[in-house]
Amino acid sequence: MTDSAISMSPVPPRPFPWRRLGLDAAALVVLILICALIVTYAFGDGSHFLANFAISACIGTISFSIIDGVRLWAWRGERRPPWVAFAALVGMGVVAGQVLGARLAGLLLGIELTTLHTLGSTRTSGMLLFTLLATGGASLYYAGRDRLIRAQAAAAQERARAEAVERQALQAQLQLLQAQIEPHMLFNTLANLQGLIALDPARAQRMLDQLIQFLRGTLSSSRAETTTLAQEFALQDAYLGLMAVRMGERLTYAFDLPDELRAARIPPMLLQPLVENAIAHGLEPTIAGGHVTVAARRDGGLLVLSVTDNGRGPDAGPGKEGTSVGLANTRERVRALFDARADVTLAAAPDGGAIASIVLPTDQP
């Protein structure tokens, strides 16, 4: 299909605004009541209120059906109609409503209303003028109400556009932060692999196998907007298995993920920088190595993820040179997604070492 063919695709017509017609009809009931009161008590011709209400209802309903029905059908209430066309429509609706409505009211009441539907008579002309004034008042009300609706619709459209732009900017920011995290982990691993190839080819092969397994598991979730805690923990299992090949018996690790939290959804790759920091700055620089525990728990309305190691601790400073973007980027990501309801902290563990925590609201989408 060519671009020109796409641009010429017919636009489906908007449905008739039945709800708008219903609101107009509700306002018409009030107008009919006012007209009946004016004719009965202001004109003072001795006629009964109920009869005048029935006559006003017949005339008003027919005029309304013609004028408002055609207006909403032709312009859908979203555009201001041309004044010449609308004036002609009002004139036609008033005359038709007066003649047909008076005849209908006469049939319903069982009385002759010749003076109300005979064009050219003095009373009919007076009632036409009265109906025209009432219709003019109603038209001014509808026009003002339509302007307000159009203004509200334009404001809502502008808000939606601004929110869409904000979401796009936020998504771009998150992708940028995540893109900074992924190479950080990958480059460190490849650098270690490069060193092992010369020193221990067999371990390098096992590390390469673990790396492939880790990257395969990461590929599907790293570009997703959310992942489950079970998937996130599985990725960390693959990563720590990769590190265990390199560190040997110096590294042990464990996971604590309650079953009720396995399906909880979080942004992908949140734990990766924390686990990597525990290895790079907490355990790897020490001769004895150590232990890493990755855990999740619910604390009231919060989801707390933690990575605890028994290594050098945060006060010992960085264990190796790096860009120091992992923890900061993770904090920026959760703050961008959840505002002040989320946080990332790093503190000394009670038994030595460090504990890095991510706190998220449990009511996240």
What pLDDT is recorded for position 171?
64
Tell me the one-letter amino acid at 139.
S
Cα(183)–Cα(77) distance, rounded to whole angstroms? 55
- Digit-coded pLDDT (tens) for 26-35: 888 888 888 8
Rg of the chain over Cα atoms, rounded to whole angstroms, equals 38
SS3 318: coil
State the pTM of this model.
0.52
What pLDDT is recorded for position 253?
95
Average of per-residue pLDDT values in the chain: 81
Cα(57)–Cα(65) distance, rounded to whole angstroms? 12
The answer to whether the beta carbons of residues 331 and 344 sit under 8 Å apart is yes
Cα(72)–Cα(66) distance, rounded to whole angstroms? 10
| Lowest-pLDDT range of 4-13, 26-35, 266-275 | 4-13
Cα(266)–Cα(103) distance, rounded to whole angstroms? 71
The answer to whether the beta carbons of residues 281 and 318 sit under 8 Å apart is yes
The dihedral over CA atoms of 233, 235, 237, 243, expressed in degrees to the nearest 10, equals -140
Burial call 138-147: b when 16+ CB within 10 Å, e when fewer: bbeebeeebe
Angle between helices 49-75 and 122-199 (to 10 degrees): 40
139 pLDDT above the threshold of 80: no
Burial of 353 (0-12, 13-18, 19+ CB in 10 A): buried
> Which of residues 130 and 167 earns the better pLDDT score?
130
What pLDDT is recorded for position 158?
84
- Digit-coded pLDDT (tens) for 340-356: 889 999 999 988 899 99
The answer to whether the beta carbons of residues 291 and 307 sit under 8 Å apart is no
Angle between helices 122-199 and 229-247 (to 10 degrees): 20
The answer to whether the beta carbons of residues 268 and 221 sit under 8 Å apart is yes
- Digit-coded pLDDT (tens) for 40-54: 887 766 678 888 889
φ, ψ at 302 (rounded to 5°): -120, 150
- Digit-coded pLDDT (tens) for 96-111: 888 888 888 888 888 8
- How many C-beta neighbours within 10 Å does residue 38 have? 14
